[in-house]
Amino acid sequence: MAKTKNKHIKYIFVVGGVMSGVGKGITTSSIGKILQSRGLHVTAFKIDPYINVDAGTMNPTEHGEVFVLKDGYETDQDMGNYERFLNIELSRDNYMTTGMVYKSVIERERNLEYAGKCVQVVPHIPLEVIARIKKTTKKDGADVAIIEVGGTVGEYENILFLEAIRMMKIESPEDVITVMVSYIPTPSTIGEMKTKPTQHAVRTLNGTGVQPDIIVARASRPLDEKRKEKIAVFCSVRKEDVISAPDVESIYDVPLNFEKDHLSAILFHKLGLKMRRENGTLKEWEKIVKRIHSAEGGVHIGIVGKYFKTGDYVLSDAYISVIEALKHAACKVGRKAILTWIDSTDFEEDPKKLAELEQYDGIIIPGGFGKRGIEGKLAVIRYCRLKKLPYFGLCYGMQLLVVEYARDVLKLKDAHSTEVNPATVYPVVDIMPEQKENMRKKNYGATMRLGHYEAKIIAKTLAREAYGKESVLERHRHRYEVNPEYVDDLKKGGLIFSATSPDGVLMEIAELPKKRHPFFLATQFHPEFQSSLLHPHPLFVAFLKACMKKQ
């Protein structure tokens, strides 16, 4: 039998210029989407230039949401963008940090795997990065790997990853291209787009030995021909290789905008691939995006949390998956999701403000950790339960639902989670027994239930009606569980645990029956991590339908 010819894999690196936060993650996702639409098998990577080994210990108000993969690895929020755009499930191998790479190299050196060589920052760190990318791309069976390098060109932190690009380009010049996402400011006092910051960013990138093949120009409005020509001349690219990326109403417009500048054709040409016909994927995408823009009427959702407020600014990146899951579900039901951020501490300072919740069609309490704002959240849950206002709790939102129910319905006045009050007389939410020893040793990295776990769903419940099946896999990120010792009492008090672990020990979904409440449901897992534009999560869809009925 003849040997199968090895697949010739292509690599696209995405780097940032001028400043961070201009959309490298969405650019990476959008490039993947348009290549998928031409029949290529795509995988994606995120490189974070932090010493942290994973994203699990990063503060959400500083770094944004911690996204959990199916294998339980805690990563940057951009991994969520990749999965939502590409409808693929990525693994821990698709994510790396500086800390992870150094840790791996040091462990290999300690294990004598370098055969006595002097192990150096260069070339051994970039070589480790390259080896990880190639190994995972092959494992994923991809034609093209898209690798986003975090940070901005010119920072010391990411220079070793730029060195990896340089080395790969030398090794396989026809298989590696670089896309720079660079900001084009328009000073309000001038009113004219300025390309000089991008010119400087490209020169800085050139100083590392890397030349961008394509420049994605992020700006408040579409780039004009004069600016494209200027960037082309001073940044050593063709004018057609300057892609306009204006601000858009929805991030899901971005792949469609890229195709207006023929980005897929440019990518195929630069990668030496024969152009393929569009396979209908992008047309389906375009239909859904049109539904987003044409939706009439809104569903007003209040999100009660604590990670999004700093001074006068709202840091919604802490809950980006929740936001996108609501948008997906809203598109499915033909409405727009209108979101309002509510700080739970407001209700502790002034309980009368609870009456303001009636203006919303539904309330969500998302995941979180810690003590601050907890009594405010409990007051919100009680208000939603008594006023029959649709309520959807996620992770911590379920644990607090159980605490509130135990206090108000079972009359266990001091009931609490041991996370908040370790000395509570009624620990209705407690840490898993097998993890208590790790907590005592302060080995916090080993105390979470992370990643996919199976849940069995009980018939004739809201959860079963939404899913339409009796077993699901959902992603977790938490230390505490509903205490099994109180489950029977909670059930007798009228609370339904409509989904449990296969052995029935761990409670996965809590709800009230429809005859008592239109939608009062919470999950121990994070359903938002598995929602996408093409496949909205069924629980979010069910929640929004209940909100629409409330209208």
495 close to 478: Cβ distance less than 8 angstroms: no
Q: Given the residues 384, 395, 476, 547, select the one marked as catalytic.
A: 395
How far, in Å, are 179, 232, 240, 409 from residue 237 at the CA level? 11, 5, 8, 68
Class of domain 296-550: alpha beta
Q: Tell me, what amino acid is at 69?
A: L
**What token pair was written down for 351?**
């309980």
Q: What is the mean pLDDT of residues 288-313?
A: 81
Instruction: Provide the CB-side half-sphere exposure for 133 (13 A, CA).
Output: 29
pLDDT of residue 464: 98
Q: Taking the CB of residue 299, how many other CB atoms lie within 10 A of it?
A: 26
Q: What is the side-by-side strand order in the sheet with 95-97?
A: 95-97, 42-48, 144-149, 10-17, 176-183, 214-219, 242-246
pLDDT band at 4 (very low <50, low <70, confident <90, very high): very low
Alpha helices in 195-332 (DSSP H): 196-206, 225-235, 254-260, 263-270, 281-294, 320-332
- Residues 482-529: pLDDT tens digits? 999 999 999 999 999 999 999 999 999 999 999 999 999 999 999 999
SS (HEC) of 53-93: CCHHHCCHHHHCCCEECCCCCEECCHHHHHHHHHCCCCCHH
**Is 528 a catalytic site residue?**
yes
Hunting for tokens 């990518």 — which residue is that? 267
65, 526, 537, 547: the catalytic one is 526
Q: Which pair of tokens denotes residue 258? A: 């890229």
pLDDT value of residue 3: 39
The region of weakest confidence among 61-65, 78-82, 319-323, 546-550 is 61-65
pLDDT tens figures, 239-279: 999 999 999 999 999 999 999 999 999 999 999 999 999 98
Residue 140 pLDDT > 60 = yes
Q: Check residue 387 and give its pLDDT.
A: 97
Burial grade of 4 (CB within 10 A; 0-12, 13-18, 19 or more): exposed
399-430 pLDDT per residue, tens: 999 999 999 999 999 999 999 999 999 999 99
Write the CB contacts of 388 (distance below 8 Å, at least 6 apart in sequence). Answer: 517, 518
Band (pLDDT 50/70/90 cuts) for residue 181 is very high
Q: Show the tokens assigned to 253.
A: 């417009």
- How many other CB atoms are found less than 10 A from the CB of residue 6? 7
Domains 10-194+248-287 and 296-550 share a fold: yes
> Does the active-site annotation cover 395?
yes
Question: Does the pLDDT value for residue 311 go beyond 60?
Answer: no
**Domain parsing of the chain, residue ranges:** 10-194+248-287, 296-550
pLDDT at 153: 95
Which is the CATH superfamily of the domain at 10-194+248-287? P-loop containing nucleotide triphosphate hydrolases (3.40.50.300)
d(CA 196, CA 285): 35
Per-chain mean pLDDT for the chain: 93
Q: What is the mean pLDDT of residues 306-319?
A: 62
Dist CA 10 CA 177 (whole Å): 8
pLDDT value at 298 more than 90: yes
DSSP string across 396-429: HHHHHHHHHHHHHTS--TT-EETTT-TT-SSEEE
Residue 131: pLDDT over 70:
yes
Q: Distance between CA atoms of 7 and 523, rounded to whole angstroms?
A: 43
Asked if residue 1 has pLDDT above 50, the reply is no
Model confidence at 313: pLDDT above 80: no
Helix (H, G, I), strand (E, B) or coil at 123: helix
pLDDT digits (tens, 9 = 90+) for 525-549: 999 999 999 999 999 999 999 999 9
pLDDT for position 436: 65
74, 324, 528, 547: the catalytic one is: 528
Cα separation, 24 vs 36, in Å, equals: 18
